[in-house]
Amino acid sequence: MTYFFETYGCQMNSAESAALELVCRERGWTASAAGEDADLVLLNTCSVRETAEKRVLGRLALYASLKKKGRPLSLVVAGCMAERLGEELKKRCPEVDYVMGTSARSTFPLILESLEKNLPGKAPPLSLGTGEKPVFSFSSSHLEEGRFRSFVPIMHGCNNFCSYCIVPYVRGPELSRDPASILAEIRLLEERGVREITLLGQNVNSYRWEAPPGSSSRFGALDFPGLLELLAGAVEGGPIRWVRFLSANPKDLSPRTIRVMAEHPVFCRHIHLPVQHGSNAILAAMNRRYTRERYLDLVAELRAAMPGISLSTDILVGFPGETGEDLEETLDLMEKVKFLYSYMYHYNPREGTAACRLPGRIDEKLKRERLSQVIALQKKHSRELLQNRLGSRDLVLVEGISRKNADELITRTERDEMAAAPGKASLIGNFAELTLSSLRGNTFRAKEIHLCPGAS
Ligand code: SF4
């Protein structure tokens, strides 16, 4: 039987889709090249923005029309939208066969079993729970086939309730993964030739493992810097040479975490530290629980501990009540930090969040104007930072063949910069060295690339 997945939203969804695909493959299912030809279509959804939900509803309408024309496919909606809307989704689109929220993922094998036992497209209703709230459980592996980089979820959910964000409502409270299970997944990734891992969580800095009473875990209590230290000891000298993590809420980034990163070169010299805004009034209205001064101090601490570290961020403009002065504060913070890149958005109210009820909505045209100011400044900074790096010799991980030129390899530095170089496909998945000799757009060009002895 065949499956086709469509994944929307964050890296957590990508990792969870990879874990669900493994379940399919372990049962002998094969991937289909297109949803139209598959026995099972699964949409792993995102609720963070209304536009993301609208896209999914559009895709559901397409698959529903195929089903109505007699195409025998079964339709599963998974992820945050499934968690948020539940069975309501089936009312909106009766062609949906199963709705599987983030915490009900363990029911996926039951869905597959049911599809295997029945005629294609004749998915029977299933009782997928006992009525109690299901509990999220981590998969044993998230490795996509043939990959040399992998996500490793270390926690799930979020307790922060930033006022604009739907995530705590759809993913539930924070749950940290047993370090023994994280280590076991990493061992498996090492055996399969993975070279780089990214630890994933909505807010990795608040990772906190406490062995439940009666648990057989060999670990008692462990916080995020403790976990980083443990992982550094486990991977250093092995095939996994680079470790990254996402996302790091600035309010929980501790001096110990910075120290552990600095002490262990296995942690890439790049950090994504979402600031969201540069004005204290707006940060407070967003319930971010740090100030611009605290953020700037953190940046200074990171740069003192790891000279040359690159920073990226998220910036949200046009939040209710934002004044021209607030925007100036954001531009000023950007000027002080100089981010390598930013994910920049303008605010759109999200039903069910605290900010949705806030007065002082900003006019759409003004929001777009403010966003374009932020984007223009970011482009200037990215360009300046990249130009300053020209001539540098760097270790890179070769990721693949350039889409524009089949004779060119695409690589990434540990600072999360892209570099292209002429080279053979046999280098893909290896560490190599090159000199950043010119720039085209935001991608470096190198004249030559050399496999790094002992680093491949
Ligand atoms: S930290 Fe804030 S923005 Fe991030 S997932 Fe949690 S509530 Fe959302």
Rounded CA separation 341/349 (Å): 25
Tokens of 224: 């995020």
Rounded CA separation 86/76 (Å): 12
In this structure, the answer to whether residues 428 and 334 fall within a common structural domain is: no
Domain boundary pick from 82, 117, 152:
117
Domain boundary pick from 268, 294, 329:
268
Q: Any residues with Cβ below 6 Å from ligand 1, and which?
A: 158, 160-162, 165, 167-168, 202-203, 249
- What is the best residue among 162, 204, 206 to mutate for testing ligand 1's pocket, by most ligand atoms within 8 Å of CB? 162
In this structure, the answer to whether residues 151 and 264 fall within a common structural domain is: yes
Q: Is residue 132 part of a domain?
A: no
**Which atom from ligand 1 is nearest to the alpha carbon of 288?**
2
Ligand 1 midpoint to CA 175 (Å): 14
In this structure, the answer to whether residues 296 and 334 fall within a common structural domain is: yes
In this structure, the answer to whether residues 149 and 259 fall within a common structural domain is: yes
In this structure, the answer to whether residues 321 and 356 fall within a common structural domain is: yes
From residue 85, alpha-carbon distances to 82, 99, 127, 135, 279 in Å are 5, 9, 18, 18, 34
Model-level pTM greater than 0.85? yes
Residue 125, exposed/middle/buried by CB under 10 A (0-12, 13-18, 19+)?
exposed
Angle between helices 324-337 and 364-388 (to 10 degrees): 10
Ligand 1 midpoint to CA 70 (Å): 42
Closest-CA residue to 412 (of 384, 446, 364): 446
Q: Is residue 125 part of a domain?
A: no
Q: Using the structure block, give the residue that is written with the tokens 């370090």.
A: 179
User: 85 with 56: CB under 8 angstroms?
Assistant: no
Tokens of 322: 């934002």
Q: Is residue 131 part of a domain?
A: no
In this structure, the answer to whether residues 405 and 444 fall within a common structural domain is: yes
Predicted local confidence at residue 217, as pLDDT: 82
Predicted local confidence at residue 62, as pLDDT: 95
**Which atom from ligand 1 is nearest to the alpha carbon of 168?**
7
In this structure, the answer to whether residues 264 and 275 fall within a common structural domain is: no
In this structure, the answer to whether residues 343 and 257 fall within a common structural domain is: no
In this structure, the answer to whether residues 26 and 84 fall within a common structural domain is: yes
| Pairing state between β 196-200 and 242-246 | parallel
Range of the domain at 88: 2-117
- Count other C-beta atoms under 10 Å from residue 425's C-beta: 12
**Which atom from ligand 1 is nearest to the alpha carbon of 161?**
7
CA dihedral sign, ordered 377, 382, 385, 386: negative
Predicted local confidence at residue 130, as pLDDT: 47
Tokens of 366: 């003004």
- What does each of the 456 residues of the chain score in pLDDT, given as a tens digit? 999 999 999 999 999 999 999 999 999 999 999 999 999 999 999 999 888 999 999 999 999 999 999 998 999 999 999 989 988 999 999 999 999 988 777 789 989 998 998 776 677 776 655 445 556 778 888 887 668 999 999 999 999 999 999 999 988 999 999 999 999 999 999 999 999 999 999 999 999 999 988 888 889 899 999 999 999 999 999 999 999 999 999 999 999 999 999 999 999 999 999 999 999 999 999 999 999 999 999 999 999 999 999 999 999 999 999 999 999 999 999 999 999 999 999 999 998 999 999 999 999 999 999 999 999 999 999 999 999 999 999 999 999 999 888 899 999 999 999 999 999 999 999 999 999 999 999 999 999 999 986 654
CA dihedral sign, ordered 63, 69, 73, 76: positive
Which CATH number does the domain housing residue 207 bear? 3.30.750.210
